[in-house]
Amino acid sequence: MINIVLFGPPGAGKGTQAEKLAEKYNLFHISTGDVFRYNMKNETELGKLAKSYIDKGELVPDDVTIKMLVDTIEKHPESDGYIFDGFPRTIDQAKALDKILLERGTSINMMLALDVEEEELKQRLKKRALDSGRADDADPEIIQNRINVYLEETYPLKEFYKEQGKFVKIDGHGSIDDITERLYDSIDSILA
Ligand code: ADP
């Protein structure tokens, strides 16, 4: 079993790359952003609650997010591992994830951190806004808020995984395929 945290700021390309990694290594791809958006679209109670945070570029509270993650894992127990995309985003989420995996006799193998400079991120999000229909991509102020929240609450997770010897930085510039190759190389090196 191999469990990967795919990490990086909004617009780093986590979703695109996670799909490729999930396919190649037969991992179950969990995107907390996608699960929230699915619930928002279907106007569930969870969706309504999440929307009030997401539309402002804030994080959904930890207790809600962690419960949703456990529910998702429990629905898919039989994959060769998981790729976590957009989770954890806080230290408390990371601690909860360690506990959840430990209870299932497994753990995180590595955090692959996509490194992309801020101007490039803003350009990508602006472009994505044209076809994603995401309210949180459309407004520069909300984008800035998401980047600020990332720097304050999520960026410190690097240290959390560094201390565990699991942090791997990946250059997130260049073509989608180039970045995918870099990710494959890192994963293959721990599988070898
Ligand atoms: P991006 O990486 O482009 O910001 P995501 O699809 O991962 O997009 O997340 C969209 C929004 O969903 C976030 O800005 C946040 O409000 C919410 N969200 C997603 N994952 C989490 C999480 N693990 N904890 C709290 N909020 C989350």
Q: Is 48 a catalytic residue?
A: no
With 0-12 CB in 10 A as exposed, 13-18 as middle and 19+ as buried, what is 88? buried
Q: Is 104 a catalytic residue?
A: no
Q: Is 128 a catalytic residue?
A: yes
* All structural domains of the chain with their residue ranges: 2-191
3-state secondary structure of 5: strand
Q: Decide: 23 and 13 in contact? Cβ < 8 Å.
A: no
Q: How far is the CA of 33 from the centre of ligand 1 (A)?
A: 5
DSSP symbols for 11-61: TSSHHHHHHHHHHHHTPEEEEHHHHHHHHHHTT-HHHHHHHHHHTTTPPPP
DSSP 8-state secondary structure symbol assigned to residue 169: E
Q: Is 182 a catalytic residue?
A: no
Looking at the chain, how many residues does it have? 192
Query: Which of these is catalytic: 56, 134, 158, 162?
Result: 134
The reported pLDDT for the residue numbered 133 is 85
| Residues β-bridged to residue 169 | 113
Strand duo 4-7 + 110-115: pairing: parallel
Q: Band the pLDDT of 192: cuts 50, 70, 90.
A: confident
Q: What is the pLDDT of residues 142-190, one digit of tens each?
A: 999 999 999 999 999 999 999 999 999 999 999 999 999 999 999 999 9
Q: How far is the CA of 165 from the centre of ligand 1 (A)?
A: 25
User: For 21-47, b where at least 16 C-beta lie within 10 A, e where not — what string?
Assistant: bbeebebbbbbbbebbbebbeeeeebb
**Which atom of ligand 1 lies nearest, measured to the CA of 14?**
2
Tokens (6 digits) for 156: 């410190």
Q: How far is the CA of 132 from the centre of ligand 1 (A)?
A: 15
Q: What is the mean pLDDT of residues 83-96?
A: 98
Residue 113: which of 50, 162, 177 has the closest Cα?
A: 162
The reported pLDDT for the residue numbered 78 is 74
| Average pLDDT of every residue of the chain | 95
Q: How far is the CA of 32 from the centre of ligand 1 (A)?
A: 6
Asked if pLDDT for residue 132 goes beyond 90, the answer is no
Asked if pLDDT for residue 18 goes beyond 90, the answer is yes
The amino acid present at 164, given as its one-letter code, is Q
Please report where in the chains the tokens 């304050």 appear, as a residue.
Answer: 152
**pTM, entire model:** 0.94
**Which atom of ligand 1 lies nearest, measured to the CA of 150?**
4
Ligand 1 pocket, Cβ-based, cut-off 6 angstroms: 10-11, 14, 32-33, 36, 53-54, 57-60, 65, 86-87, 89, 93, 136, 146
- Closest residue by CA, ligand 1 atom 15: 59
Q: Band the pLDDT of 77: cuts 50, 70, 90.
A: confident
**Helix residue spans in the chain (DSSP H):** 14-25, 32-41, 45-54, 62-75, 91-103, 118-132, 135-138, 140-149, 157-163, 176-191
First to last CA, the chain: 14
Q: What is the pLDDT of residues 94-126, one digit of tens each?
A: 999 999 999 999 999 999 999 999 999 989 998
CATH 3.40.630.30 fits 2-191, yes or no: no
